[in-house]
C-alpha cells in the first residue's frame, strides 16, 4: 500500500508493528532496547534506573541494605513475614511489637545518638556503628531465644571458628538465653530485648542502656574501658534520654540479679535497687565514712565472676560519670578517649 511504499522509500523496514532503520531492527532482534539514547539489554536498563539483583529479583539500590537485614531477621527470629521493621538514620529496629511502638523506640534511639554526638562530636558520622545498629525488640521470649541460637549457628559458620572460641560462644549463648537482653559489636552492632513482663517504658530504657554500652565499646575500638566506666556511662545516658533508670545488669537477670548482693546492705530488701534513692544513699555513706574507694571497682566485671559489680558499685559509677560530665564535658570526653582496660 501507499504507506508501506513511502516507508520503504525512506529506507525503513518493518519490525513487529513499527517502522525502523535496518540497523535498529538488528539491535531489536538482538533483544536490545534504546534507553536515554543508548542501546541496552533489559538488565542494563534496570541497572541504569537504579535497580540491583537481590535473591533473583530486581530491587531499588536504596532498598538493598534493608532487604539484606530483613531477610536473615525473618529467618533468625522465626517471625517470617510477621516481622515488623522501622529504620532511621542510625538504627534498624526489628521485632514483633506494634508499628507505633517500634517507631517510638527508633526515635528514642536517635535521641541517644544525638546525645552521644553532643558529648563526642568526633563520632558524629555513622561510622562509629559501622552501618546501622540492628535492634531487635520482642513482646515475649520465644523469638528472642530463637535469635540468640541463630546468631550462635551463624558464628559457627565463620572462618574464625575454633574449639576455644566455641566454648566461649557456647557459654555466652547460655547466658543470653537466661537473660532477656543482650548486645554485641561483632561482627556488627546488634542488641536484642524482650519486653514482658516489663512495661513499654522499661523496654525503651533497656534499649537505650544497651545502645550506650555498644557506643562506648565501638568508641574504643580494640580498647575496652573498665566495666564501671561503661556501665556508668550507660546509666547516665539511660536517665538522660528516658528520664528514668530501669535497667539492672547482673548474672541472673534484671532487677532480681542484685538482690542481697551488696555487702553494705543489711536488709532483705536492697535499697540500692531503687535508683531514685541512689544519690541520698551515696551521700549518706560518704557522711558516715563508709563509702569504699573508687579504686576497688577497677578490676570488677559485670558477668561471670565472683568479683563483679554490685548494686552499690553501679550507683557509684553512675554518680561519678554524672559528676564528671556536669563538671567538664570536654574533659570527660578526653578522659574516655584515654581510658584503657583496668582504668
| Span 285-294, pLDDT tens digits | 999 999 888 8
The angle at the Cα of 279, spanning 273 to 281, to the nearest 5 degrees, equals: 65
**Cell numbers for 216:** 562506648
Please give the Cα distance from 95 to 93 (Å, whole number): 7
67 or 224, higher pLDDT = 67
| pLDDT attached to residue 316 | 93
Query: 342 falls in which pLDDT band (50, 70, 90)?
Result: very low
| Mean per-residue pLDDT over the chain, rounded | 85
The angle at the Cα of 342, spanning 128 to 216, to the nearest 5 degrees, equals: 20
pLDDT at 136 > cutoff 80: yes
pLDDT (tens digit per residue) in 174-199: 989 988 999 998 888 999 999 988 89
In 3D space, the residue among 208, 212, 219 whose CA is nearest the CA of residue 334 turns out to be: 219
pTM of the model: 0.78
| pLDDT attached to residue 130 | 73
| pLDDT attached to residue 126 | 53
| pLDDT attached to residue 94 | 97
| pLDDT attached to residue 88 | 92
| pLDDT attached to residue 15 | 92
Q: How much of the chain is in helix, strand and coil states, percent to nearest 5? A: 55, 15, 30
- Residue 78 neighbours by CB under 8 Å, 6+ apart: 142, 143, 146
Please give the Cα distance from 275 to 278 (Å, whole number): 5
Top-confidence range, 22-26, 68-72, 294-298: 22-26
Stretch 32-56: mean pLDDT, rounded?
88
**Cell numbers for 136:** 531487635
What is the full DSSP assignment across 177-227? HHSSEEEE-SSS-EEEEE-TTS-HHHHHHHHHHHHHHHHHHHHHTT-PPPH
| pLDDT attached to residue 76 | 96
Query: 258 falls in which pLDDT band (50, 70, 90)?
Result: very low
In the sheet that holds 84-87, the strands lie side by side as 84-87, 91-95, 133-138, 190-194, 181-184
- Residue 241 neighbours by CB under 8 Å, 6+ apart: 108, 111, 112, 115, 208
Which H helix or E strand runs over 104? helix 99-119
Top-confidence range, 112-121, 258-267, 295-304: 112-121
Share of the chain above pLDDT 90, in %: 48
Grid cell 554490685 — which residue? Answer: 310
Amino acid at each position: 500500500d501507499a504507506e508501506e511504499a513511502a516507508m520503504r522509500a525512506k529506507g525503513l523496514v518493518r519490525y513487529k508493528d513499527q517502522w525502523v532503520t535496518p540497523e535498529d531492527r538488528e539491535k531489536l532482534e538482538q533483544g536490545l532496547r534504546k534507553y536515554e539514547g543508548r542501546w541496552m539489554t533489559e538488565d542494563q536498563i534496570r541497572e541504569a534506573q537504579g535497580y540491583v539483583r537481590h535473591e533473583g529479583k530486581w530491587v531499588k539500590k536504596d532498598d538493598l541494605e534493608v532487604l539484606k537485614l530483613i531477610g536473615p531477621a525473618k529467618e533468625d527470629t522465626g517471625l517470617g513475614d510477621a516481622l515488623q521493621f522501622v529504620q532511621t538514620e542510625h538504627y534498624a529496629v526489628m521485632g514483633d511489637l506494634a508499628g507505633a511502638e517500634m517507631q517510638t523506640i527508633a526515635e528514642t534511639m536517635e535521641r541517644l545518638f544525638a546525645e552521644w554526638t553532643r558529648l563526642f562530636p568526633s563520632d558524629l558520622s555513622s561510622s562509629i556503628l559501622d552501618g546501622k545498629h540492628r535492634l531487635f525488640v520482642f513482646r515475649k521470649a520465644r523469638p528472642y531465644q530463637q535469635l540468640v541460637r541463630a546468631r550462635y549457628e551463624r558464628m559457627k559458620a565463620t572462618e574464625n571458628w575454633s574449639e576455644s572460641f566455641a566454648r566461649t560462644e557456647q557459654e555466652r549463648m547460655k547466658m543470653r538465653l537466661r537473660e532477656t537482653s543482650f548486645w554485641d559489636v561483632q561482627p556488627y552492632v546488634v542488641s536484642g530485648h524482650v519486653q514482658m513482663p516489663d512495661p513499654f517504658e522499661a523496654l525503651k530504657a533497656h534499649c537505650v542502656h544497651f545502645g550506650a554500652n555498644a557506643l562506648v565499646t565501638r568508641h574504643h575500638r580494640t580498647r575496652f574501658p573498665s566495666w564501671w566506666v561503661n556501665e556508668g556511662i550507660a546509666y547516665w545516658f539511660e536517665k538522660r534520654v528516658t528520664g528514668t533508670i530501669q535497667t539492672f545488669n547482673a548474672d541472673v537477670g534484671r532487677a532480681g540479679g542484685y538482690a542481697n548482693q551488696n555487702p553494705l546492705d543489711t536488709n532483705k530488701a536492697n535499697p540500692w535497687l531503687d535508683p531514685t534513692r541512689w544519690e541520698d544513699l551515696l551521700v549518706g555513706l560518704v557522711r558516715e565514712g563508709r563509702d569504699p574507694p573508687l579504686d576497688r571497682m577497677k578490676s570488677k566485671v559485670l558477668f561471670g565472676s565472683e568479683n563483679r559489680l554490685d548494686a552499690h558499685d553501679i550507683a557509684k559509677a553512675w554518680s561519678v560519670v554524672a559528676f564528671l560530665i556536669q563538671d567538664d564535658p570536654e574533659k570527660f570526653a578526653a578522659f574516655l578517649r584515654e581510658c584503657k582496660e583496668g582504668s
